[in-house]
Amino acid sequence: MKFQKVYTLEEIASIIGCEYVGDKDFPVTGMNEIHVVESGDIVFVDHPKYYDKALNSAATIVLINKNVACPDGKALLISEDPFRDFNKLTNYFKPFQFSNVSIATSASIGEGTVIQPNTFIGNHVVIGKNCLIHSNVSIYDYTVIGDNVIIHAGTILGADAFYYKKRPEGYDQLLSGGRVVIKDNVGIGALCTIDKGVTGDTTIGEGTKIDNQVHVGHDTVIGKKCLIASQTGIAGCVIIEDEVTIWGQVGTTSGITIGAKAVILGQTGVTKSVEGGKSYFGTPIEESREKLKQLANIKKIPEILNKLK
């Protein structure tokens, strides 16, 4: 998430009421998660296990719960609860905006686009030309949709990320201030759910086609001309490169990469990153030819046992 202007370190510290280490005029231009941070961004860390990763990331402002040595060229925001204060910043820069109309007045809808009845289009949504949005679709604030996109009934774009911190009193949600971005010529089936990024974008690449009842988690990036069949669940922060085919009832873990032109066969559990240009099957995932050989050999076990008797 990039801010609309450059803030100083002192200004950010005053918003969340914390101390800071560094020049009070140190520039702050945005906030983001660790995997997508850039210079000028704030990143938060609240566990010693991840201190080094955060301090050595591209982020130049680290929101942290311990006063540690500050790397050269960076600044620290010292907080007793970085998770809580990251939420404060999200709520400050991207607060929830109430809407009482089906199509927000701040939404932009391109020429030739058809919106079927009972669809909700939130604040600051941008929809391109010649799209077809079927009935009962919900498009949350700040979603961006390109040209020639088809979205079938009941699909939801922009729900919150499934991201929680366990506390003694229950689970505390990390607020989502990101977006969903749908590129040109994408097709999305009925009853799909695509969550917005925590601070960045969940992106569906140009020409990708998604079947019914598919879930895409927060901050996932899907490339161009992918095919994703029904009942697939893609976790957060996944990268799916161009021209990947994913068949039905596939599930993935978070933070992995599926290489270009890979084929993931039905009911596979993608438990790790996989190279492109190959076919995969099974849980844990393996190349499909090897997995199918293993299954064929398993069928021979009763015959082998009978021979040993």
Tens digit of each residue's pLDDT (9 = 90 or more) over 268-284: 999 999 999 999 999 98
Taking residues 23-32, report their average pLDDT. 97
Element spanning 295, H or E: helix 288-299
DSSP state of 36: G
Residues 38, 57: Cα–Cα separation, whole Å: 8
**Residues acting as catalytic residues:** 218
Place of tokens 């009763």: 302
Phi and psi at residue 162, in whole multiples of 5°? -90, 85
Q: Answer whether residue 91 shows pLDDT above 90.
A: yes
Q: Answer whether residue 31 shows pLDDT above 80.
A: yes
Tens digit of each residue's pLDDT (9 = 90 or more) over 194-227: 999 999 999 999 999 999 999 999 999 999 999 9
Tens digit of each residue's pLDDT (9 = 90 or more) over 237-260: 999 999 999 999 999 999 999 999
Taking residues 4-14, report their average pLDDT. 97
Q: What DSSP letter does each residue of 118-158 carry, written as one string?
A: T-EE-TT-EE-SS-EE-TT-EE-TT-EE-SS-EE-TT-EEE
Q: Answer whether residue 137 shows pLDDT above 90.
A: yes
How does residue 292 score in pLDDT terms, banded at 50, 70 and 90? confident
Query: What are the chain's domains?
Result: 2-93 (3.40.1390.10), 108-280 (2.160.10.10)
Percent of the chain with pLDDT over 90: 92
How does residue 12 score in pLDDT terms, banded at 50, 70 and 90? very high
The neighbour count for residue 131, using CB atoms within 10 Å, is 22
